[in-house]
Amino acid sequence: MAVQRGRHFLQIPGPTNVPDRVLRALSQPTIDHRGPEFSRLTQEVLEGLQKLIRTSGKVIVYPASGTGSWEAALVNTLSPGDRVLMVETGHFATLWKNVAVKFGLQVDFIPGDWRHGADPEQVEARLAEDRRHSIKAVALVHSETSTGAATRIAEVRQALDRAKHPALLLVDTVSSLGVMDYRPDEWGVDVTVCCSQKGLMLPPGMGIHAVSEKALAAAKSARLPRSYWDWQAMIGPNQAGFFPYTPPTNLLFGLRETLRMIQEEGMESVIARHARLGEATRRAVKAWGLEINCLNPVEFTSGLTAVRVPEGHDADALRKKILEKFNLSLGNGLGKLQGKVFRIGHMGDFNDLMLAGTLSGVEMGLALAGVPFKKGGVQAAIDYLAGNE
Determine the Cα–Cα distance for residues 67 and 91; give it in Å rounded to an integer: 13
226 close to 80: Cβ distance less than 8 angstroms = no
Q: Which of 19, 63, 203, 204 binds ligand PLP (CB under 6 A)?
A: 204
148 close to 345: Cβ distance less than 8 angstroms = no
302 close to 274: Cβ distance less than 8 angstroms = yes
- Give whichever of 325 and 336 is closer to ligand PLP, judged by the CB atom: 336
x/- letters, 125..164, toward ligand PLP (CB under 6 A): ----------------x---x-------------------
User: Of 141, 110, 107, 106, which Cα lies nearest the Cα of 124?
Assistant: 110
CB-based closest residue to ligand PLP = 66
Minimum CB separation of residue 172 from ligand PLP in Å reads 5
Minimum CB separation of residue 386 from ligand PLP in Å reads 31
Please list every residue from 89 through 108 that binds ligand PLP, using CB under 6 A: 92
Residue 86 is a binding residue for ligand PLP (CB under 6 A): no
Give the pairing of strands 168-172 and 135-141: parallel
Residue 172 is a binding residue for ligand PLP (CB under 6 A): yes
Determine the Cα–Cα distance for residues 62 and 55; give it in Å rounded to an integer: 18
DSSP 200: T
User: Of 315, 278, 301, which Cα lies nearest the Cα of 115?
Assistant: 301
Residue 174 is a binding residue for ligand PLP (CB under 6 A): yes
Residue 195 is a binding residue for ligand PLP (CB under 6 A): yes
Determine the Cα–Cα distance for residues 377 and 310; give it in Å rounded to an integer: 16
Q: How many of the chain's residues bind ligand PLP (CB under 6 A)?
A: 12
Determine the Cα–Cα distance for residues 128 and 159; give it in Å rounded to an integer: 9
Instruction: Tell me the window of 111-119, 168-176, 294-302, 373-381 that interacts with ligand PLP (CB under 6 A).
Output: 168-176
194 close to 207: Cβ distance less than 8 angstroms = yes
Residue 306 is a binding residue for ligand PLP (CB under 6 A): no
Minimum CB separation of residue 145 from ligand PLP in Å reads 3
**CA 243 to chain CA centroid, nearest Å:** 25
Residue 345 is a binding residue for ligand PLP (CB under 6 A): no
- Give whichever of 143 and 249 is closer to ligand PLP, judged by the CB atom: 143
Residue 211 is a binding residue for ligand PLP (CB under 6 A): no
Q: What are phi and psi of 134, to 5 degrees?
A: -85, -15
Residues that bind ligand PLP (CB under 6 A): 14, 65-67, 92, 141, 145, 172, 174-175, 195, 204
